[in-house]
Chains A and B, each alone.
Chain A
Amino acid sequence: MLATAIIVFREVLEAALVIGIVLAASRGVPARAAWIAAGVGGGLVGAVLVAASADAIAQAVAGIGQELFNAAILFAAVAMLGWHSVWMSRHGREIAAQANRLGTSVRAGTQPLYALALVVGLAVLREGSEIVLFLYGIALAGGGGGMVLGGALGLVAGAAAGAAIYLGLLAIPVHRLFAVTTWLILLLAAGMASQGAAFLLQADLLPAFGNTVWDTSSLLSDQSPLGQALHALIGYTAQPAGIQLVFYGATLLVLSLLMRLVGRPERRRPAPAARMSQR
């Protein structure tokens, strides 16, 4: 039962942390609960479908279907997180200013919630399909009550971790919250890009650029709870391949450049003197 709980916890943790961050990042936006719930619901339906067609996916595209599928899901999530960050770089300041004036009941703008809902849905789909496959296996093997209890325990513990990060983020003053969630979302995106690169490497579509650039597994193993949490949050891996670092860095670089370029008109108004001299 405990083994079941631990495995379910690990899978739930990743999705729960994503949901916690997304909920904090969309704080005060109307109808966000409905959007995020739709993301979770859609992800669950998708998870069952993916689990049911696991073998068909794996055999597709000359046997690299599973890798391509996972990479596609991860890069789609990266794109949505990036879109959210770039959008926020333009509008986040106004929202934060307004939130400051009005307290938490800010009704500013229409934050692109479909992007965040999709991110949630994709995370639930990816982790959920593994949970479905795993629990279905235990049920087939006659796991019965222990499985239900273990699964529920893992789910509750994972959800608690998600709730913890959400509540922790809510403790941040509203005017600083978006700056923090923007960084968390950038790191989340970079971590997902590095995971996506690992799947393309596994599919033999990318070179490794060094199989193990460093090894911190003796300090913090990927399998430990903290390692798992950091893996979900910032893409930590004890033995990264070179190509993962390339994707990680490139995602951070490209997204922060985009945010600067798009956010500039609002953020960096030239000083009055400079504006005069331009005329």
Chain B
Amino acid sequence: MRTFQRHCCGLAAIVALAMVVAPVGATEPGPTITIKGRDFVPSEVQVPAGVKVKLLVRNENATASEFESTELHREKVVAPGAEVGVFVGPLSPGRYEFFDDFHPETRGYLVVK
């Protein structure tokens, strides 16, 4: 049982440490992406490399959407008329695709420079 307790303590310590360490580093306000009909507007947004950015995703439709990106490990339901924040980064330069999981033909790109 003692080994078990030690393992649990170790795990708890790692998680606690991670929780404390993670939020360090400032978050920059990012661009707003609007879901209008079956499009992201704009369909391509730019953010700087190596910093944490908070994207704003606004849904102007009367129906729900799910902002998702497999590359960025992000999935967030956006209720009709709602606006949600999505943290991304710090990322290395590149082009990252995102889409609306409820309407998979609706796609856009995050360009990191």
Contact = CB atoms under 8 A, between A and B. Distances in A.
Interface of A: 3, 7, 54-55, 58-59, 63, 66-67, 130, 133-134, 136-138, 140-141, 198, 201-207, 211-212, 217, 221-223, 237-239, 241, 243-244, 246, 250, 253-254, 257-258, 261
A254 B11 contact: yes
What is the interface of chain B mostly: helix, strand, loop, or mixed? mixed
A242 to B, nearest CB: 11
Nearest to A207: B22
Interface string B44-85: 000000001000000001111010001111111111101011
Given A54-B77, A261-B4, A63 B85 contact: yes
Contacts of B62: 137, 140-141
Interface in B7-39: 7-8, 11, 14, 18-19, 21-23, 27
Contacts of B79: 54-55, 58, 133
Secondary structure type dominating chain A contacts: helix
For chain B, give the interface size range.
35 or more
Contacts of B18: 206-207, 243
A58 B76 contact: yes
Interface in B69-106: 70-80, 82, 84-87, 91-92, 101-102, 104
Contact of B64 (A67, A137, A253): A137
Interface of B: 1, 3-4, 7-8, 11, 14, 18-19, 21-23, 27, 52, 61-64, 66, 70-80, 82, 84-87, 91-92, 101-102, 104
Contacts of B71: 212, 239
A207 to B, nearest CB: 5
A254 B7 contact: yes
Given A141-B63, A239-B70, A258-B4, A206 B19 contact: yes
Pairs A-B, 9 closest by C-beta atoms: A137-B63, A55-B79, A133-B64, A204-B87, A207-B22, A54-B79, A63-B85, A55-B82, A222-B70
B20 to A, nearest CB: 10
Nearest to B1: A261
B73 A201 contact: yes
Contacts of B78: 58
Nearest to B63: A137
Given A201-B73, A202-B76, A202-B86, A261 B3 contact: yes
Contact of A58 (B4, B19, B21, B77): B77
Contacts of A140: 62-63
A202 B86 CA distance: 7
Contact of A241 (B14, B73, B75, B85): B73
B111 to A, nearest CB: 16
Contacts of B72: 211
Given A66-B77, A205-B23, 14 more contacts: A66-B84, A133-B64, A133-B102, A198-B73, A204-B22, A207-B18, A211-B73, A211-B91, A212-B71, A238-B70, A239-B70, A239-B73, A250-B14, A257-B4
